[in-house]
Structures are given as C-alpha cells and as structure tokens.
Amino acid sequence: MSVVHREDLENRQVKLTITVDRGTWQKALADVYAAAKAYFPVEGYAPGAAPREALEAAYGKEVLYQEAVNTTYPQELVDAIARHELLIAGSPALNVEEIGDDGYTFTAIVDLYPEVKLGQYKGLRGHWEAVELSNDDVEQALADYCRAHTAEEEQERAAMGDEVTLDFEGFVDGVAFEGGKAEQYPLVLGSGMFIPGFEEQVAGIRVGEERDVNVTFPQAYTPELAGKDAVFHIKAHRIVRRTVPTLTEEFAAAQGFADLQALRVSVMENALHIKQAQAQDAYADALVQQVIDGMEVTVPESMIESQLRGLMEELAQRLMAQGMELESYLQAAGMTIDDLRAHARQNAELSARFELAMMEIVRLEGLTVTEQELEQRYSEMAQMYGMSVQQIRAQLPPARLSHDIKLTRARAVVVDNSIRA
C-alpha cells in the first residue's frame, strides 16, 4: 500500500509526497522487463532470452526504472488526490525524490481550484425558442438523408469531385519541408483543401500511379513557404466516386418504407426532434452563461493550460484518425502552432470557467455519484461502443467519469430551476 503525506502550501497549492510500496514497484519492473527484454541484447543470450538479472547487470537496474515509474505514478497520483478529496486546477509538477529496489517516492505539487463566488444560479430566466420546421428545413433534412445514403463506387481514374486516397511529400528546391508529408490522406478533388492548383493536377491520376504536382504557395502563407515554388510527389491508392440518390418510390422501398410519403414523414419527425434538442441546448447554454457571467473567480493559468492541452490533443487525435499529422494541417491552413494555440486559448478559458462554476454548484448542492451509478454508466457505454467495461474504464477512469457526471448534474440544476420567458 502506498503512503501519502499532504502539505498545504501558499497560493492554494498542495504538496503530496507519495511512496510507492515494494510490491507495486516490483510488479511494475517485472512487467516492463517482460515487454522490453527483446530490445536489449545481452551477450551470451538469444534476443529476448536474457533473464532480468542478466539484463540489469549489463545495463544497470535503472534501465527499467523510467518506464516502470511512468506506468505506476498516474494511478498512484489519482488515488492520492481522491483520498484527500482534492479538486485540482491543472497538471501537477512532479519530481522523483528517491528510487530503489524497495520502491520510490515522488512529490506532486498541485494547484487547487480557486475560490469561487457564485451569483444566482436558480430562478434564472431564459428565452425558449419556439420550434417549427420551415420548408427549407424539410428540404435540407431530405437532402441530408440522401447524402447519408450516398452510394460509393471504386474508380480507376480520378475526376473532379472524386475522393482520392493518396500519399504526398512536398519539396522546395529539392528539399523536403516540415509538415509537407502525409500517407493515406483522403482528398476530395475540388474541395479547396489544398494549395491552389494542387487538386486540379491530381485529377486524371490512376490507382497506383505516381506523379509530381507543381504549385506555388500563396503570399499569405507561413513565412518560410510564402510565395515559393514547390513540388509534391504523390501516389494514389484508392479513388472513390460518390453518387447521391434521388428521392423516388424505389429508393424509399429500398430503405424499408411503404412509400415515399412515409420516408418524408419519418425524416421530418427526426428533423423536428433535432431542432427541439438544439433549442433545449441553446436554452441551457444561455442559462449557464448567465451563471458564468455572474461568477467572481480568478482562473489559474495552470487550469487554462490544462484545458488548452486537452483541446490540442483532441485535434491531433482527430487528424491522426484522418491520416494527417498536425504539422500538415497547419501547413494546409497557413497557420503556426502559436496561431492555433492563440485561437484555441479562448475556448480553453471558457471551458475552465464552466468547470469552476459547475463544480461550485456541485459543492453547494452536495451532488454525488454512487459506485452503482458509475457501473451502470460503464455498462451503457460498453454496449453503445461495442467494448468491454474494462476497456472503457481504462480509457475513462472512474474519477474522470464521476467528475463528468457531476458537471452534467450541476448543469441540470440550473436548467431545472429556471424560468422560461
């Protein structure tokens, strides 16, 4: 069992000293050894066959320490924070003080939530937008439904409007430049996502074909590339042409409806539900904004940075899922990382202020989340995403899920006690 000591510092900071016990530490070292032994050749042994004692004798015991610390300290820190019921504002400053066979001791200096003075959060008045479907709404909903049932057909040769999955690498004066390379990138020709002239030169390419695309960067681009000529070497892997179906009786029957009118009614009902949900969200957001505007608080810089880091990581993950690196995205958008951070900082501060306001309501209202409620939510999410509860818990620890539920319930307190105007 780990030992935790708490020391309250000035400026709403707390220093936690956490000692990880020998059993936890030795298990972590054994796990790291099992995963890493194939990457450390030891004379006299086949690759991956050297016992741990031989590996440590060859490289030193410290060779396994860093990864073992990385695998153990997050949970130890989360447990310590939960044990002391701390609400932390940002990422802690960590330092390993002692380390050896019997375990290790590390310190974590954390910023606590600042003092929050809320104004009124019950009995707020908000305008509820009446919901109705216009003719334009209906036509848009039908068009969206058709697009959602777009037919895909593989093509051998690309035309404007097709989606081409390609690799590309850019060169200026024969030298590759940072952020100018991507693999398996899906590009819709004619979307305007790339430098002027790029997509038109991709048109006509065949699956498996490689070619060079010659472009000139716009003057309004990142300084190191603005106005320069560049050559992109590309290779096409897949070409897809998408055809949006038309609303016919045959199409309606293929979707399982009795006739076209039944399809239209179903789409209209769904569109109405979406507009009602949007109106409800807008109403709730306006009320929450009143709470935030009436709050007195100094948001810690560490909290804004933590929120900003989360936004940046989320963007990078979304881009990675699309086969694109953040650097390539910045190049295509003509932005620097500092530009992106500055743009996202306002959203980060808004997120931090929302969290502070809602968590103060949690405190004032005594809102809690039981273990049974957590398990129920985990089961629902596992079923929704087709994953096991264990997989969901690994990605979303109980402390984080409990925190998110509390935020939602605090928001509900504001909405449920409001007055519709």
Q: What is the pLDDT of residues 15-52, one digit of tens each?
A: 999 999 999 999 999 999 999 998 999 999 998 899 99
3-state secondary structure of 198: helix
Write the pLDDT tens digit of every residue in 326-358. Answer: 887 887 777 888 888 888 898 999 999 999 999
CA distance 240 to 186: 10
CA distance 304 to 291: 19
Tell me the CB-side half-sphere exposure of residue 92, using CA atoms within 13 A. 24
Domains in the chain, please, with CATH? 3-111 (3.30.70.1050), 151-243 (3.10.50.40), 269-420 (1.10.3120.10)
Write the pLDDT tens digit of every residue in 46-65. Answer: 988 999 999 999 999 899 99
Q: Which of 408, 410, 355, 401 is nearest to 381 (CA)?
A: 401
**What percent of the chain shows pLDDT beyond 90?**
69
What's the gap between Cα 75 and its chain centre? 21
Size of the chain in residues:
421
The answer on pLDDT for 1 being more than 70 is no
The answer on pLDDT for 254 being more than 60 is yes
Q: Which amino acid is at 320?
A: M
Residues 6+ apart with CB under 8 A from 172: 225, 228, 229, 230
Q: Which of 59, 24, 25 is nearest to 41 (CA)?
A: 59
Token pair recorded at residue 127: 């305008």
What is this structure's pTM? 0.68
For residues 382-411, give the mean pLDDT: 91
CA distance 402 to 82: 11
3-state secondary structure of 350: helix
Among the residue ranges 71-85, 162-176, 262-276, 279-293, the one predicted with the least confidence is 71-85
CA distance 342 to 261: 50
Question: How sure is the predictor about 315, in pLDDT bands with cuts at 50, 70 and 90?
Answer: confident
CA distance 386 to 261: 34
Token pair recorded at residue 175: 């030298």
Residues 6+ apart with CB under 8 A from 403: none
